[in-house]
Structure 1
Amino acid sequence: MALLARRARRAETKAVSLGGGVELAIPAHFRCPISLDLMRDPVTAPTGITYDRESIEAWLDKGRATCPVTHALLRHEDLVPNHAIRRVIQDWCVANRSRGVERIPTPKIPVTPVQASELLFDLAESARVRGRDDAAARCAEVVAKVKALARDSERNRRCFVSIGTGRVLAAAFESLAAAHSAPAGGVLDDVLETLVCMMPLDEEAARILVSPSSLRSLVAIAEHGSLAGRMNAVLAIKEIVSCDGEFTDLSEKLDEIVDALVKIIKSPICPQATKAAMVATYHLARYDEHVSARLATAGLVPVLVEALVDADKSMSEKALAVLDAVLVSEEGRASARAHALAVPVLVKKMFRVSDLATELAVSTLWRLGRAPRDGEEEEDAVTRCLVEALRVGAFQKLLLLLQVGCRDATKEKATELLKMLNKYKGVGECVDAVDFRGLNKLS
């Protein structure tokens, strides 16, 4: 209540800037009690308080199931459009148009569960009929309506998600993929784009997408589709492999999926697609060492190392996670040991990005420093990595990590790494002054 009282006091001076230092006061009953801005889509709660729809729905979406003013229980479905106040606000905007005030548009009526269900029924029926051009055209028409309504507002999207639209779209994608020999057809792209709007998908929708025909089409779109289609296909693949970690149904297409993901990472089309491809690749690499080896032989390790040089936090964490998973295989470790930037970049990322990035960097360094199975040449490569780690200040950073604390698994790896590095301390090391400043503060 104190917060709302302070907002009410500030609202007394709320005004619209007209330029040139001139301001026009907004009537108090035109402002939303939450945002204090002019209401564009006023809705009234059962308590009699009127809010702007966007503000009150954002309030409820955060788990607050009460009216901000009266603290009475409040649900999304309790909100009723206040057409009277909206018309008055629009009239006020029109009356002050000469003073620079723009008229607020009439908000679109939200879709109801009944209307959404009717659209899904039409979609399921049209997708079920195979081999008929009119059925495909009808399917594309319905999908366009669903996509347009879902993008109109978050409320509409939630309505579609709540009635299982993801499952219906996944089934339509599977049916259309099985009926068309050209897997990257226009109607499939439309269905896939709408499906992405409904993410995250539930387990049933993800299982439907694992069918051979769906996977064939997803891989084809990811490799040869339009830029938007490729991004949507990668997002769908990420949903499949991230759902529950069970990839038994992917075995026949696993290599093709890996190749498609590697292509996206090596030749980025947009940051969102690259990050989604990395997440999917991480899950697949953790599933099977064969995938890790295939990723290494496909040349992914140098790409990840070089991507880490100037990556932001999100990209750094994902690239480090994939790199750590790829280095489970002997091929991955050999590729990283042969890259001149691998060790310096990993040491640099410790304490520079996040706690997760630090743990992943330690794990990756630990894999690089492990004793080789056999071969003098491989042993020399491990020695070079450990000496390089010493020279770029890994020893001091690991000591600092043990002082500030970390998870038990990371602590074990850091301790083992220190033992590995200690064998080569006489070779020479270069200590970063940043690490000494950190140690002095902790002492």
Structure 2
Amino acid sequence: MVRDELYITVPNLFRCPISMDVMRSPVSLCTGVTYDRSSIQHWLDSGHDTCPATMQTLRSKDFVPNLTLRRLINLWAQSNGPPSPASSPSVSYQKATTLVRDIENNGNENLPNTLSEVLDLIAAGDENRRFLAGFDGFVSAIVGVLSRGGAKMEVLELSIRVLDSILTENGVGEKLNSSISKRNYDCLPSICLVIQKGIGSSSKIESVRVLESIAVNAESKRAITENQDLFHALLDLLASEKDDDLNDAVFSFFIAISVTHSAKAELVRSGIVQLVSKSLSDPKTKICTKEKGLKLMSIMSTCAEGRSAMRDWPECAKAVAEKLMKVSRTANEDAVAVLWSLCCLLGDKKAQEVVVRSNGVAKILLVMQSGYYEGHKVRRICGDLVKVLSAGCRAGVLGLGLYDSKTTHIMPC
């Protein structure tokens, strides 16, 4: 009799070099070697000061979560073998109570393990995520970790990851904002620290998403805007990072908070016009990120400071004009609004010339022709733009002679 066996091959990368078991909570030493947290913690607690795999003397006994490997292991586990209680644990009321108590314990040195366990439970299934997100005191406990100050980067990153993983659940936004406001926004310095010094871009992206979920009312937006360290840490990300997903998250956040004149003015003073213009001009920037950049630029154009900054930065008009008809309908509206502010409202001759040289008149006429804007203000401001630009060309004011858009079949209203 032949008996069929089901063999599941575990990738060596997923095995802890000490226990040889699949890692539940992979962490990396300063040597770059990754181990399961419980195994390496036992090794270090036993008095060793070397890396077990390489036997190098450790400059530091600190370790950081290998979040990318954790995700890969979870994806592999979900697609291999039948689900079991061991691989898909459920959260009981008693278990959740214990987790909340352990998280609230400020002197708990096992906090990284507790937070890693929470993430494992959330990753095990939607039911666990919903249960923990709705459990009384859970969100508040996580916010408490961020608000206490003095926590290691590992703990801060894990706490933010927990919050980010439950943001989409019903009621979490309200609980998060209520808990943070009660603590007088004491968590903002911790979030700022992760944005400045977090390991890799994933924790920074998660931090920005958590910030955006906080910025839902006038009080929270004001608290964030008035935190200069945080505000400028986000701008520094745009200036220094080349990660499109990270820039996309930062653009979304700035769009969310740019509802007051003071917030817009602060962004403009901090160089947002120049940063967005560079992003729009970069051929490597994703279309979705450019569309958010156009939205942000449109918002900035509604204040005098924003229009002045755009006038003083000639690359702005060129970058915006070149995106016309290459983005979504909504983004086209934002681009047209920016060009109208420069060319019509300010009457900036340099901007007008840049738009004409970028074949902007033809593109604006195509926007009018698209059929989406019948009776819409976009059609009217497109008409204003065409009249101003065409008049400048005919008069030779723009130094281009008579401009031929090659779209004579399209007549502005």
* Residues 1:140 and 2:112 are matched in the alignment: yes
Distance 1:174 1:104, change over 3 A: closer
Structure 1 match to 2:336: 362
Q: Distance in 2 between matches of 1:166 and 1:406?
A: 46
> Could you report, residue by residue, the CA deviation over 1:213-232 in whole angstroms, capped at 9, with x for unpaired residues?
12222123222333343332
Equivalent AA in structure 2 for residue 121 of structure 1: T
SS of corresponding position for 2:302: coil
Equivalent runs, 1:83-232 vs 2, <5 Å: 105-109=81-85, 111=88, 115-130=91-106, 132=107, 135=108, 137-151=109-123, 153=124, 156-164=125-133, 168-180=137-149, 182=150, 185-200=153-168, 202-207=172-177, 208-210=179-181, 211=183, 212-227=185-200, 228-232=202-206
Q: CA deviation at 1:292?
A: 1.4
Deviation at 1:291, TM superposition (A): 1.5
Q: Quickly say closer, same or farther: Cα 1:104–1:352, change in 2 above 3 A.
A: closer
Q: For 1:200 and 1:432, how far apart are their aligned partners in 2?
A: 51
Match of 2:364 in 1: 398
Q: Within 5 Å, which residues of 2 pair with 1:36-115?
A: 105-109=81-85, 111=88, 115=91
Question: 1:437: how far off?
Answer: 7.2
Partner Cα distance (1:405, 1:171) in 2: 50
Residue 184 of structure 1, CA deviation: 5.3
- Whether 1:371 aligns to 2:358 is no
The alpha carbon displacement at 1:430 in A equals: 8.7
Q: Distance in 1 between matches of 2:383 and 2:217?
A: 33
User: Is the alpha carbon distance of 1:389 and 1:166 closer, same or farther for their aligned partners in structure 2, counting shifts above 3 Å?
Assistant: farther
Q: Does structure 2 conserve the Cα–Cα contact (< 8 Å) formed by 1:327 and 1:333?
A: yes
Quick check: 1:295 aligned with 2:263? no
Note the 1:8-47 alignment, pairs <5 A. none
Tell me if structure 2 keeps the 8 A contact 1:296–1:326: yes
Aligned to 1:248: 219
Distance 1:396 1:269, change over 3 A: closer
Structure 1 residue 424 displacement after superposition: 1.0
Are the equivalent residues in 1 in contact too, given 2:344–2:384 (CA < 8 A)? no
Instruction: Return the TM-score normalized by structure 1.
Output: 0.64
TM-aligned CA deviation for residue 166 of structure 1: 8.6
Please name the residue that 2:354 is paired with.
Answer: 388
The 3 A distance-change label for structure 1 pair 422 and 167 is farther
The amino acid that maps onto 2:101 is E
Q: 1:236 aligns with which of 190, 194, 210?
A: 210
Deviation track 1:406-443 (CA, whole Å, cap 9, x = no partner) reads: 3413223222323332431222559999x747968xxx
- Secondary structure at 1:402 match in 2: helix
Question: Contact 1:173 / 1:214 at 8 angstroms: preserved in 2?
Answer: no
Distance change in 2, residues 1:250/1:352 (3 Å) = closer
- Please say if residues 392 and 431 of structure 1, whose CA atoms lie closer than 8 Å, have aligned partners that are also in contact: no
> Which residue in 1 is equivalent to 2:279?
307
Aligned 8 A contact 2:104 2:144 in 1: yes
Report the CA distance shift for 1:168/1:321 in structure 2 as closer, same or farther (over 3 A).
Answer: farther
Q: Take 2:383 and 2:135, find their aligned partners in 1: how far apart are those partners?
A: 47
Indicate how the Cα distance of structure 1 residues 384 and 324 shifts in structure 2: closer, same or farther if over 3 A, else same. same
Moved more, 392-401 or 354-363: 392-401
Distance 1:188 1:392 in 2: 47
Contact 1:258 1:281 (C-alpha < 8 Å) held by counterparts: no
CA distance in 2 between counterparts of 1:404 and 1:254 reads 39
Distance 1:233 1:174 in 2: 13
Q: Is the 8 A contact 1:238 1:280 kept in 2?
A: yes
Contact 2:148 2:186 in 1 (8 A): no
Q: Does the Cα contact within 8 Å between 2:352 and 2:389 map onto a contact in 1?
A: yes
Matched, 1:343 2:322: no
- Cα distance in 2 for partners of 1:204, 1:312 equals 32
Tell me the TM-score normalized by structure 2: 0.68
| One-letter identity of the residue aligned with 2:292 | K
Which residue does the alignment assign to 1:258? 231
Contact 1:149 1:157 in 2 (8 A): no
Q: What do residues 389-411 of structure 1 show as CA deviations (whole Å, max 9, x unaligned)?
A: 22322222222221222341322
Deviation at 1:259, TM superposition (A): 1.7
Question: Is the 2:132–2:138 contact (alpha carbons within 8 Å) kept by the matching residues of 1?
Answer: no
Equivalents in 2 of 1:430, 1:401: separation in Å?
24
Structure 1: distance between partners of 2:232 and 2:310: 20
Q: Distance in 2 between matches of 1:272 and 1:165?
A: 29
Is 1:328 aligned to residue 309 of structure 2?
no
- RMSD, matched Cα: 3.3
Contact 1:323 1:364 in 2 (8 A): yes
Quick one: which of 272, 276, 279 aligns to 2:245? 272
Q: Give the structure 1 partner of residue 3 of structure 2.
A: none
SS in 2 for 1:213: coil
1:424 aligns with 2:396: no
The secondary structure found in structure 2 opposite 1:345 is helix
| 3-state SS of 2:187 partner | helix
Matched-pair contact (CA < 8 Å) for 2:167–2:173? no
Asked if 1:412 corresponds to 2:412, the answer is no
Identity of aligned residues (%): 16
Query: Given that residues 133 and 166 in structure 2 are in contact (C-alpha distance below 8 angstroms), is that contact kept between their aligned partners in structure 1?
Result: no
Q: Is the 8 A contact 1:327 1:367 kept in 2?
A: yes
User: Which of structures 1 and 2 has the bigger CA Rg?
Assistant: 1
Distance in 2 (CA, whole Å) between partners of 1:335 and 1:104 is 56
